Amino acid sequence: DVKVTQSSRYLVKRTGEKVFLECVQDMDHENMFWYRQDPGLGLRLIYFSYDVKMKEKGDIPEGYSVSREKKERFSLILESASTNQTSMYLCASSFRDLGQYFGPGTRLTVT
Amino acid sequence: GESVGLHLPTLSVQEGDNSIINCAYSNSASDYFIWYKQESGKGPQFIIDIRSNMDKRQGQRVTVLLNKTVKHLSLQIAATQPGDSAVYFCAENKARTGTASKLTFGTGTRLQVTL
């Protein structure tokens, strides 16, 4: 079974803090994704990566950056957290163009 | 529990009955579709996928039907069980970069199974 893990289930940060969300997958998938999920808006793609050190902007990259130094790990960075970044963050991975497998999510609250 | 969406359309089904959840997709060029299940407080779970060269695909208790003419996708769940209660949403591939499919997700339908 595919396993995608995220470093925290719940996180509370203050406005202006730098926030790191970590994601690890154990299936040697080349593609990894970061989404946020908000009520009424569904899943929105922030960034994705199709190879180590490669990254592409998704639909809402502003205020975020990513890092992929190893194939199994994809990090999402909030350079200076703001209250409008309070959300559920979901990481996913996929093999080639097949379906994406999601982690359990990190609920981030920025106060 | 945590809500994944406010004011989602809700389908209420009695335990043991069959469920049909529908999805209209937007891009006639999309060639790959996926159904996901999301339980409260959890990440989406891959259920079944279908490519556009197929009209139907069956899994364990689930069937996906694809009608490309009207850009419509449906998920059928046979003999619905209480554990099927969740939000279900479809996804279509929007574009590819390298080997990665960029998916567009629907907002979902909440399935409530009554005893």
> DSSP assignment of A23-79, as one string?
EEESS--SEEEEEEEETTTEEEEEEEEEETTEEEE-S--TTEEEEEEETTEEEEEES
Domain of residue A65 covers 4-102
Residue B9 φ/ψ region, left for φ over 0, alpha for ψ in the -120 to 50 degree band, beta for the rest = beta
Tell whether A16 is covered by a domain: yes
Give A4's contacts (C-beta < 8 A, 6+ positions apart): A23, A24, A25, A91, A92, A93, A101, A102, A103, B43
Tell whether A20 is covered by a domain: yes
Distance of CA A52 to the CA centre of its chain: 15
Residue B7 φ/ψ region, left for φ over 0, alpha for ψ in the -120 to 50 degree band, beta for the rest = left
Contact by Cβ (8 Å): B73, B22? yes
CB contact under 8 A, B103 and A100: yes
Most B-contacting residue of A41, A43, A47 (CB-CB within 10 A), to test interface: A43
pLDDT per residue as tens digits for the range A6-60 = 999 999 999 999 999 999 999 999 999 999 999 888 899 999 999 999 999 999 9
CA angle B2, B4, B9 (to 5 degrees): 120
Tell whether A68 is covered by a domain: yes
**What is the CATH classification number for the domain harbouring A44?**
2.60.40.10
Q: Which residue has the tokens 């339908």?
A: B109
Q: What pLDDT was estimated at residue B2? A: 37
| CB contacts, 8 Å: B3 with chain A | 39
Every domain of chain B and the residues it spans: 10-114
CB contact under 8 A, B100 and A31: yes
Tell whether A107 is covered by a domain: no
Confidence of residue A88 (pLDDT cuts 50, 70, 90): very high
pLDDT per residue as tens digits for the range B43-82 = 999 999 999 999 999 999 999 999 999 999 999 999 999 9
Tell whether A45 is covered by a domain: yes
Tell whether A74 is covered by a domain: yes
The DSSP output letter for A83 is G
Cα–Cα distances in angstroms (integers) from residue B96 to residues A20, A83, B30, B93, in the given order? 27, 32, 10, 8
Strands A64-70 and A54-57: unpaired
Tell whether A108 is covered by a domain: no
Report the residue from A4, A40, A97 with minimal CB separation from B96. Answer: A97
Give the count of domains, chain A.
Answer: 1
CB contact under 8 A, A105 and B43: yes
Tell whether A109 is covered by a domain: no
Cα of B114 to nearest chain A Cα, Å = 24
Q: How many Å apart are CA A63 and CA B92, to the nearest integer?
A: 26
Domain B10-114 matching CATH 3.30.565.10: the answer reads: no
Confidence of residue A96 (pLDDT cuts 50, 70, 90): confident
